[in-house]
Chain A
Amino acid sequence: MDAVIENLPAILDAFWLTIKLTAISAVISLILGIVLVAMRVSPLPVLRAVGTAYVNGVRNSPLTLIMLFSGLGLGTVMSLKFSDDLSVQDFWLAIIALSLYHASFVCEALRSGINTVPMGQAEAARAIGLTFMQNLRLIILPQALRAVIAPLGSILIALTKNTTVAAAIGVGETALLMKNLFELEGDSVIPIFIGFAIGFLILTLPTGLFFGWLAKRLAVVR
C-alpha cells in the first residue's frame, strides 16, 4: 500500500490525463460518429460508400496500430503539429487515434438506433417538406440517440480503458505510469496493480450506472 500512497500525486496526475483523453475523445467520436452515420444513410451513393468503407476499415483495425500510425505516421512522417511541447503534441495525436477509432463504433451504434425509428415517421417528415438533413436532425437522430444510450455507454467505458493504448506513443497516462512504478517498486507490484484497477473501476462503474439510468429516463414511448 505504501508504494501507492507515496506515489499518489503522480497517480492522480496520470488519471487526470486519462480523464482528459477520455472526455475529449468522447466528444470528437460522437460528432464524427454522427457525421459518419449521416453519410451511411444518405441518399448519395458516394457518401454511403465512403462511410461504409471508413467503418469497415477502422473498426477492424487494432487500436494499437492506429495509435502508432497517428503518433509516427501523422506526427513524425507527415509532420502534423499541435505543439512544440512533446507531451502536448503526443496528447493530441493520441486523441486523434482514439477519436477516429471509436467514431466507427459510435456510427454503428447510431445506425442500429436509426433502425428502431419507424419508417413512417421519416416519411411523414418528408411529406411535410423537411429536407433530408432536417429529417435526420429533428426526427431520426434524436430518437435513434435515445434508443442507443446504453450501447453508447459501453463504448464510453471501452474508450476509457482504451486510453491506456496511448502509452504506446509515450503519453504519460496511467498505463505508462503503472509500468514505470512496477520497475521502480518491484516488490509492490500487486498493490500498485490493485490501486490502478480500482482507479479504473471508479471511472467506469459510475459511467455504466449513469448511462443505464439515462437510457431509462430518455426512452421514447411508442
Chain B
Amino acid sequence: MQKHFGSLHVLRDINLNIDRGEVVVVIGPSGGGKSTLCRAINRLETIDEGRILFDGRPLPEEGRALARLRSDVGMVFQSFNLFAHKTIMENVTLGPIKVRGVAREDAEKRALELLDRVGIASQAQKYPAQLSGGQQQRAAIARALAMNPKMILFDEPTSALDPEMVQEVLDVMIELAQEGMTMMVVTHEMGFARRAANRVVFMADGQIVEENTPDEFFTNARTDRAKDFLSKILTH
C-alpha cells in the first residue's frame, strides 16, 4: 500500500502479512510511519493505493461494517486515551454494551475478570485520573480485550510511562502473546521483542527496510540502516 500526507510519502510500497496468532514488533526511527501503519489497519487513517485484507476480506469503507471491523481490531495507544468522565468499569463495559449489545450484568462480570487479569480489579470504580500511568494502560488493555478482538494493535504502549511502570504493562502483553493473541506492537522495548515477538519489522522513511527474527535483528541486523538505528537506541 501507499499513503501520502500532502507531499509527504508516509507509507511506501508496504507489503506485510501477519498470520493469526503471530506477534509482530514494529520498530524504527521517529517519523518513519509506524503509527500511520497501525492506524491504517483499523482504518483510523485511509490509504491512497493498495489493499488491506483482514480475515481475508478488504477493510470496509465506512458505516456499520467499518464499526464492526474496528470492534474486532483492538487498539492500545501511547497516551492510554481512557474516557475521562467514565469509571474504569464503564470504560471497559462501554464497547461490549453499546457495540456488541451485551447485557450490562454480563459485561460487568467479564470486565471484572479482565481487570483482575491485568491486576487492577480493585480500581474498577475509580476514574482514570485517579490511577497511575501503568494502571491506566492496563485498563486500556482490558478495554480492548473486552471486545474479544481478533487482533490488537499497540502503538508505543509504554513510551509515556515512568520507567518503574513499564514492566507491569509489558508483563500483561507478554501473557497475551503467550495465549496466542495476534498482535502488532510498535515498541522499542527490546526485552519484549525478544521474549514475545515472532518477527521484527524495521521501518524507516515509510518503508519496511528489514524483516527478521528478534534475535537475529538485535544481534546481527542485515541492513546498515537497521544497524545504524540500533547503535543509537542501544547506547542509552
Binding site for B on A (CB under 8 A): 118, 120-121, 123-131, 134, 138-139, 142-143, 146, 220-222
Q: Which of B105-155 contact A (CB under 8 A)?
A: 127, 129-130, 140, 143-144, 147
Check A146–B85 contact: CB distance below 8 A. yes
Check B84–A121 contact: CB distance below 8 A. yes
Q: Which of A124, A125, A134, A220 has the most CB of B within 10 A?
A: A124
Q: Which B residue sits closest to A139, measured CB to CB?
A: B83
Distance from B131 Cβ to chain A, minimum over Cβ atoms (Å): 11
Asked if B68 CB lies within 8 Å of chain A CBs, one says yes
Task: Classify the secondary structure of A's interface with B.
Answer: helix
**How distant is the Cα of A146 from the Cα of B86 in the complex, in angstroms?**
13
Asked if B82 CB lies within 8 Å of chain A CBs, one says yes
> Which of A123, A127, A134, A220 sits near B98, CB closer than 8 Å?
A134
Known contacts A120-B79, A123-B77, A128 near B147 by CB under 8 Å: yes
Asked if B42 CB lies within 8 Å of chain A CBs, one says yes
Check B127–A221 contact: CB distance below 8 A. yes
12 contacts between A and B (CB under 8 A): A118-B79, A118-B84, A121-B81, A127-B73, A127-B75, A129-B70, A129-B72, A129-B99, A129-B147, A131-B64, A138-B94, A221-B84
Check A127–B74 contact: CB distance below 8 A. yes
Cβ of B147: which chain A residues have Cβ within 8 Å of it? 128-129
Asked if B103 CB lies within 8 Å of chain A CBs, one says no
Known contacts A134-B98, A138-B98, A221-B127, A126 near B85 by CB under 8 Å: no
Q: Which of B42-76 contact A (CB under 8 A)?
A: 42, 44, 64, 67-75
